């Protein structure tokens, strides 16, 4: 039997008579769904209905079973057995196919929702003249890495929420950074930060993206901000550009503030500072006595337009100076203006460090 030959014949003859499937079904006392099955070749009427069907379509049972007009008479019972056997065989194959497909879908759904964890993959970082290999944690079964400027992307077939959880487990192994009201992730070993990540849905796969920055991202931002406000880093801010000794002065206050101070010559920038204040009293035109009012080291930070100096250690001081724990400088045109002058005894004007 040619595929759809009987079904096509019934459909053609029905339309020639001007019947809908529902109308033909009423004539035969069957549903329109039964007629639809005949025309789609997934079912056949029994002998009694075949006779009525042939009469309704002005044709013969032999023509219906042969799928064409003007055919010779055949053994209807044998032909029906043969056709139904073939249809049943095809239906079984369809059912088996549906079962296999369903099992595959179930397997895919189950495996896509299983967490396999993450693996460490070495990638090459090359941006702004910095070239190095770094190790990044990506969900297992990821493939097809792509590198664009400062971002790396990977493909994966598994569930989005599962992949996001695997990424979060990896990020927990990194140091948390907090700035700009945002959490970032820092790999201290390879000295890079993950500033953003995402898992995006596409039709066939998920796309995992990491955005990478060299070094400690928050520290780098702070360095840039501080450098702009202070006119550079690791520099001396002094009350006088140089010391000049003239006949016109008797006493001179010397204030020296060094940002980026490190007592172990560490090349890595730390937000530490050193403050040294001396009072010079003239002996003669070429000599002066140096009295240390304060020598201290501490930490500093900048908030808006103010620099806060937090003393952590007093190295030397004068007994007649009450040194505060914190000194605040207003930043104005890259100059430091001491807000609370605790040195008023020695200098009653505004202390300005250039």
Q: Are residues 349 and 250 part of one domain?
A: yes
| Full domain range(s) for residue 254 | 224-353
- The CA distance from 47 to 79, in Å, is 11
The set of residues, in sequence order, having a beta carbon less than 8 Å from that of 163 and lying 6+ positions away, is: 139, 156, 199, 206, 208
Q: Are residues 16 and 106 part of one domain?
A: yes
Q: Are residues 184 and 244 part of one domain?
A: no
On whether the CB atoms of residues 124 and 169 are closer than 8 A, the answer is: no
> What CATH number has the domain bearing residue 156?
3.30.310
Ranges of residues in the chain whose predicted pLDDT is under 70: 1-4, 73-84, 86-91, 106-109, 240-251, 263-268, 285-286
Q: What percent of the chain has pLDDT over 90?
A: 47
Give the closest residue to 144 by CA, choosing from 96, 184, 204, 56.
Answer: 204
CA distances from 211 to 10, 80, 202, 297, 315 (A): 64, 68, 19, 37, 44
Q: Are residues 129 and 102 part of one domain?
A: no
Residue range 221-273, pLDDT digits in tens: 988 999 999 998 888 998 864 444 444 455 688 899 999 877 666 556 789 99
Instruction: Give the burial class of 156: count Cβ atoms within 10 A of its Cβ; 0-12 exposed, 13-18 middle, 19 or more buried.
Output: buried
> What CATH number has the domain bearing residue 86?
1.10.260.40
Number of domains in the chain: 3
CA distances from 10 to 15, 83, 133, 157, 323 (A): 9, 15, 71, 46, 106
Residue bearing tokens 């953003």: 196
Q: Are residues 139 and 58 part of one domain?
A: no
Out of 74, 89, 111, pick the residue that ends a domain: 111
Out of 111, 146, 180, pick the residue that ends a domain: 111
Q: Are residues 322 and 244 part of one domain?
A: yes
Q: Are residues 105 and 141 part of one domain?
A: no
State pTM to two decimals.
0.60
């Amino acid at each position: 039997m040619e595929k759809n030959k009987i079904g096509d014949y019934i459909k053609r003859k029905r339309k020639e008579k001007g019947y809908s499937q529902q109308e033909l079904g009423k004539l035969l006392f069957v549903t329109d769904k039964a007629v639809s099955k005949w025309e789609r070749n997934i079912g056949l009427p029994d002998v009694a209905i075949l006779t009525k069907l042939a009469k309704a379509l002005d044709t013969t049972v032999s023509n219906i079973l042969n799928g064409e007009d003007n055919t010779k008479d055949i053994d209807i019972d044998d032909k029906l057995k043969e056709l139904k056997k073939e249809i049943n065989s095809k239906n079984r194959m369809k059912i088996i196919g549906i079962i296999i497909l369903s099992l595959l879908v179930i397997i895919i759904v189950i495996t896509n929702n299983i967490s396999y964890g993450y693996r460490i993959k070495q990638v090459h970082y090359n941006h702004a003249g910095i070239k190095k290999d770094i190790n990044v944690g990506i969900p297992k079964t990821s493939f097809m890495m792509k590198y664009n400027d400062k971002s790396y992307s990977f493909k994966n077939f598994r569930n989005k929420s599962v992949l996001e959880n695997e990424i979060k487990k990896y990020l927990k192994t990194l140091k948390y950074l907090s700035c700009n009201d945002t959490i970032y992730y820092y790999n201290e070993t390879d000295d890079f930060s993950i500033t953003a990540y995402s898992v995006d849905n596409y039709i066939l796969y998920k796309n995992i993206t990491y955005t990478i920055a060299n070094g400690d991202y928050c520290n780098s931002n702070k360095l840039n901000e501080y450098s702009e406000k202070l006119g550079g880093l690791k520099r001396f801010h002094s009350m006088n550009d140089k010391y000049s000794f003239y006949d016109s002065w008797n006493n001179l206050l010397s204030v020296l503030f060094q940002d980026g101070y490190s007592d172990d010559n560490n090349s890595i920038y730390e937000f530490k500072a050193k403050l040294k204040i001396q009072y010079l009293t003239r002996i003669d035109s070429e000599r002066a006595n140096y009295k240390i009012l304060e020598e201290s080291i501490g930490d500093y930070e900048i908030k808006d337009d103010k620099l806060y100096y937090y003393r952590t250690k007093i190295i030397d001081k004068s007994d007649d100076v009450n040194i505060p724990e914190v000194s605040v400088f207003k930043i104005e045109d890259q100059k430091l203006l001491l807000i609370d002058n605790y040195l008023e005894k020695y200098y009653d004007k505004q202390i300005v460090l250039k």
